[in-house]
Structure 1
Amino acid sequence: MIRIIAVLCRLASPTDCHEQIVTTSDFADVTMQSCLMGAPQLAEWMAQHPGERLAAWRCTIGSRVDGRGA
């Protein structure tokens, strides 16, 4: 499973940023290549969260978010 971890900043406070896993079961077909290119699903997710700006994202493999995999 590929997980997309986004760095999101609030539009009202641009220095207030946080990381959030944006991967859901809808992302089951995300490949590492499509993730690195900015998975189209990420744009859909951002459209549902208009109060935040995407500052960056990273792709990880497995269920853990610390980069060590499952």
Structure 2
Amino acid sequence: MIKIIAVLCSLSAPGNCHEQMVTSSDFANVSMQSCLMGAPQLAEWMNQHPAERLAGWRCVFGQQTGRST
């Protein structure tokens, strides 16, 4: 299983960034190629996070390791 880890930064404090695992049923069967290309679903997912901007993302197999930015 591929997981997408988004790097989100606060719009009010741009230096305040954190990683968050993208969770949505739309991402249940995302392919590595789709993930690396930005998974079109990311734009829709970001609509649910209006106070943050997407600074980047990474694709990982399996579980998140808990790495922080």
- TM-score by shorter chain over 0.5: yes
What TM-score, normalized by structure 1, do the two folds share? Answer: 0.85
Alignment root-mean-square deviation, CA: 1.0
Q: Which blocks of at least 5 consecutive residues in structure 1 are unaligned?
A: none
CA deviations 1:1-59 (Å, max 9, x no partner) are: 11000110000000000000013333112100000000011111001111101111000
In structure 2, what is the Cα distance between the partners aligned to 1:12 and 1:27? 28
Name the structure with the higher strand share: 1
Quick check: 1:51 aligned with 2:55? no
CA contact (8 A) 1:6 1:22 kept: yes
Identity of aligned residues (%): 72
CA contact (8 A) 1:2 1:31 kept: yes
Q: Tell me the number of residue pairs that the alignment of Structure 1 and Structure 2 aligns.
A: 65
What TM-score, normalized by structure 2, do the two folds share? Answer: 0.86
- Deviating 4+ runs (over 4 angstroms): none
Higher relative contact order (CA 8 A, sep 6+): 2
